[in-house]
Amino acid sequence: MSILEMNQSKGDRIMIIVTLLGMDTYQAIDETRKLHPILVKAYGVKDEELEFFAPEGFIIHNGVEQTAFRLNITVEAPKEYQDKEKEIKDLLFFALKDVAVHFRVLFRYFDPKDEYLKLDDTYPTYMTDSNTVKAEKEHSDQMEEENKKNFEEEAEEPYMGDIIGEFDKYIKENPNATDKEIYDVLMGIRKEVTDKHHDDNKK
């Protein structure tokens, strides 16, 4: 396994992280799918150098939830991109105008020499629709097969024979039988009819 560790001051790669606080996480997936290429182009970075973070949580003011009414956005970027701030702010306000009513954007800048990346190059940098679909399909097929097996087992016809009649006959014929003898006979009758039932179903 090859592990690549990079200090960002060497210029190998930069990372820009956009955090969305106060947006439904499922809505965030759809919105960022559209927003991602816009910000990549505006910043002039590679596709893999930008990612979003949308944690589950609430914006609360005076005990009242403000989620989907207010949206707090944080942009974490290397300080060399500070001159892009106004353009990025305008893009975020415009692209997300239907997501909330009120917006706040906070830019945080860092020195690339203080950032480190550790990447395993035996795996893709990010999961995508194309490189995850195979694993999801295999999992789905496995679950479907297990559900089918469980259904067939649960749907098996119950035994409709006269277990009680056979047991009553034994009690009448053996009035002095001990509790253990009665129990053993009952278990024996149960096993016999159950085995017969399964054999009949296989035919």
Give tens-digit pLDDT for 116-135: 988 888 888 888 877 765 54
Q: How far apart are CA 94 and CA 44, in angstroms?
A: 19
Q: How far apart are CA 126 and CA 41, in angstroms?
A: 19
The per-residue pLDDT for 14 is 86
Nearest to 108 by CA among 72, 61, 150, 153: 72
The per-residue pLDDT for 111 is 94
Query: Helices marked H in 60-162 — which ranges?
Result: 85-95, 129-154
Mean pLDDT, rounded, of the chain: 82
pLDDT at 103 over 60: yes
pTM, 2 dp = 0.61
Mean pLDDT of 74-85: 97
The per-residue pLDDT for 154 is 57
The single-letter DSSP state of residue 123 is S
Model confidence at 16, in pLDDT bands (50, 70, 90)? very high
Assign 108 to helix, strand or coil: strand
Q: How far apart are CA 181 and CA 197, in angstroms?
A: 24
Q: How far apart are CA 16 and CA 108, in angstroms?
A: 10
User: Which is higher by pLDDT, 34 or 183?
Assistant: 34
Model confidence at 157, in pLDDT bands (50, 70, 90)? low
Mean pLDDT of 74-87: 97
The per-residue pLDDT for 40 is 97
The single-letter DSSP state of residue 151 is H
